[in-house]
Chain A
């Protein structure tokens, strides 16, 4: 593999500076998830797959910041984030428990030019839990541009209720694998090789997003299904708050 394989081909991904986002809508989904929709000042439109940094600032100037993938289509007038509240998570728990419409947040983005997809190649995406968020942005983008046949999404969650965007993913043609409950005729289990293989067939690129454990599982599954290692792009989230 050469450096060129990892380089960003052609156009560089958009980069945004620090700005301010006003929370227009906030929706708490169960105990852990919160969907935030923000009006961003001087917004630089993102590419599907990019992320933003949210920075919280206390009265004494103390700050805490974390990165969150964007869920919205670039054409959406608002920026949508789906945040999972982590136990002891300094930023995520605050956003889940405290944020309300009208709050203003320091934001920086979009950031990242690697884990992006704009339809340039047929791709297979495997996301676990909130790892589906950047894939939702890709799916929304694909549907708007009539590119849905170039994006095969496999979304993995424990239950239907705790998987972000579960219904939208199903409606958008994604394969949804639940590990703790049955879904229709499918018995609870992680995705099988036979389930992934048809999605990999003819795909030139793969995207994996999820926890470290999930990502290593998904990468192995894709490799077994015949995806070239160098064509797999990974976004992991670990011990962050």
Chain B
């Protein structure tokens, strides 16, 4: 249904360079801004005391201390992030550890099919395991070369940049592998179980 009088911003295919191709439908470029959106009060955690546990449907549950985590091979992601509230941000570089490095240690059981990420605040989000396997997902502690600030999820957040950013749980402390899907915090509150920005999977019921 056409909105009377609405023309809107320049179209994606008229944006400079290849920005249009890189901007998913319904999103806009937030430029240098990095909006902060959370449902809870920001916790102020001591990085050196922060731990990450991977358990559930795995052969060998494991807890990494802050120090241990940093001894794993580091890797970086440089690119776009897409928030369901319609902003996208390009060119942020995140540094941390690929989840594949963690899977090598814990060895997911064959029947493991989903991940439920837990934050220190109790926030949770669910993801298909295949979306966080194969150099597509990280736990990160730095953005653009600086420690991740608390309001952006520091000291440690999940990073799954090919899905809407609420899947990239801030203050992540536990990755629970599951054999059946279990909706997380926003997913129980009407948001999509997968959240692919290119398919505009914003809310439950979207394709």
Q: Smallest Cβ distance from A144 to chain B, in angstroms? A: 25
Contacts of A143 in B (CB 8 A): none
Would A58 and B2 count as touching, CB distance under 8 A? yes
Tell whether, in the assembled complex, residue B7 and residue A58 are in contact, meaning their CB atoms are under 8 Å apart.
yes
Q: Given A90-B28, A238-B35, A239-B33: A229 and B188 within 8 A (CB)?
A: no
- CA of A57 to CA of B4 in the docked complex: distance in angstroms? 8
B8, B37, B151, B203: the one contacting A64 at CB < 8 Å is B8
Neighbouring B residues of A149 by C-beta, 8 Å: none
Question: Which B residues lie within 8 Å of A159 (CB)?
Answer: none
Please report which residues of chain B, range 1-42, place their CB below 8 angstroms from some CB of chain A when the two chains form the complex.
Answer: 1-9, 11, 25-26, 28, 30, 33, 35-42
A124 on interface, CB distance cutoff 8 Å? no
Partner of A62, one of B8, B42, B85, B151: B8
Closest chain B residue to A113 by CB distance? B189
Render A35-72 as a binary contact track against B, CB cut-off 8 A, 1 for contact.
00000000000000000000011111011111100000
Contacting residues of chain A (99-151) with chain B, CB-CB under 8 angstroms: 103-106, 108, 111-115
Question: Nearest Cβ distance between residue A236 and chain B, in whole angstroms?
Answer: 6
Of the listed residues B6, B11, B39, B123, the one surrounded by the most CB atoms of chain A closer than 10 A to its CB is B6
Given contacts A234-B38, A240-B87, whether A3 and B124 have CB atoms under 8 Å apart is yes
**Once the chains bind, are B124 and A6 in contact (CB under 8 Å)?**
yes
A103 touches B86 (CB 8 A): no
B204 at the binding interface (Cβ < 8 Å) = yes
Main secondary structure on B side of the interface with A: loop
Complex contacts, A105 vs chain B, CB 8 Å: 3
Q: How far is the CA of A63 from the CA of B12 in the complex (A)?
A: 11
Contacts of A216 in B (CB 8 A): 42, 151
Q: Indicate if B79 sits at the interface (CB-CB under 8 A).
A: no
B167 on the A face (CB < 8 A): no
Is B6 a contact of A233 with CB atoms below 8 Å? no
For the complex formed, measure the closest distance between the CB of A114 and the CB atoms of chain B, giving whole angstroms.
5
At the interface, yes or no: A20 with Cβ under 8 Å from chain B? yes
Cα-based distance from A230 to B28 in the complex (angstroms) = 33
3 closest A-B pairs by CB? A238-B35, A113-B189, A6-B122
Besides A3-B122, A240-B86, 18 new A-B residue pairs in contact (Cβ under 8 A), listed by A number: A6-B39, A13-B190, A17-B205, A57-B6, A60-B11, A64-B8, A64-B9, A64-B86, A103-B3, A104-B4, A105-B3, A115-B39, A216-B151, A229-B41, A234-B38, A238-B87, A239-B30, A239-B35
